[in-house]
Amino acid sequence: MLKLYYSPGACALASHIALEEAGAEYEIQAVNLRVGEQKTPEYLAINPAGSTPALMTDRGPLTQNLVIMGYVAQTYPDARLAATDDSFEFGRMQAFNGYLASSVHPAMGALLFAGLEGEAKETALKTTLGKLDLLETRLLQGPWAMGESYTVADGYLCVFTRWARQAHVLEPSRFPRLNDHLDRVQARPAVQRVFAAEGIEAA
């Protein structure tokens, strides 16, 4: 059985949502980042990078949300969480997820979790808002991330828009489409089950 190592409410939420949407049989194991469980020898044997998520499969561990979500979509094609029969469309979704991973996540991480103050925090806020603007105006196809069909990209986008709303930076007048998308994702039964399992709430 698959086993997902995650930290509640952190970016691993995306992989957790993907597994639940897929109808996969899986277990979850919380990793307490605050007390350093990700740095224990036992966890480093699973993910040498010492971060979550990590998904243990019958062939060994996979790490990184982008990889795990792609694996889930390809392993459970009947769930239709990606265009697994169209390499271009699959690649287009992975490009969206790559932007979230390499651009949005670092920007929001600096703003929300780096303890910045003063001018440094203002710069981080400006950077984050710029990333969200690009999602709002260009990248979010609507009603779902990639267009008419829900994909694993939607659960991933939800991670960051949820953080943004909690931090009061997802201003509805500036980001109406991102706010609508977040509401749509959070209303899905699978997502609500994941929130309950992780002990977190919708934003």
pLDDT tens column, 143-177:
999 999 999 999 999 999 999 999 999 999 999 99
Looking at residue 107, its pLDDT comes to 97
Q: Which two tokens stand for residue 137?
A: 């105006």
Q: Return d(Cα 38, Cα 41) in angstroms, integer.
A: 9
Q: Return d(Cα 147, Cα 142) in angstroms, integer.
A: 5
Looking at residue 169, its pLDDT comes to 97
Listed in order, strand segments (DSSP E) in the chain are 2-6, 26-30, 54-57, 60-63
Show the domains of the chain with their CATH numbers: 2-80+190-198 (3.40.30.10), 87-188 (1.20.1050.10)
Looking at residue 84, its pLDDT comes to 94
Q: Residue 169 is which amino acid?
A: V
Q: Which residues of the chain register pLDDT less than 50?
A: none
Q: Return d(Cα 4, Cα 23) in angstroms, integer.
A: 14
Q: Residue 82 is which amino acid?
A: A
φ, ψ of residue 123 in degrees (nearest 5) = -65, -40
Looking at residue 154, its pLDDT comes to 98
Looking at residue 26, its pLDDT comes to 98
The model scores a pTM over 0.95: yes
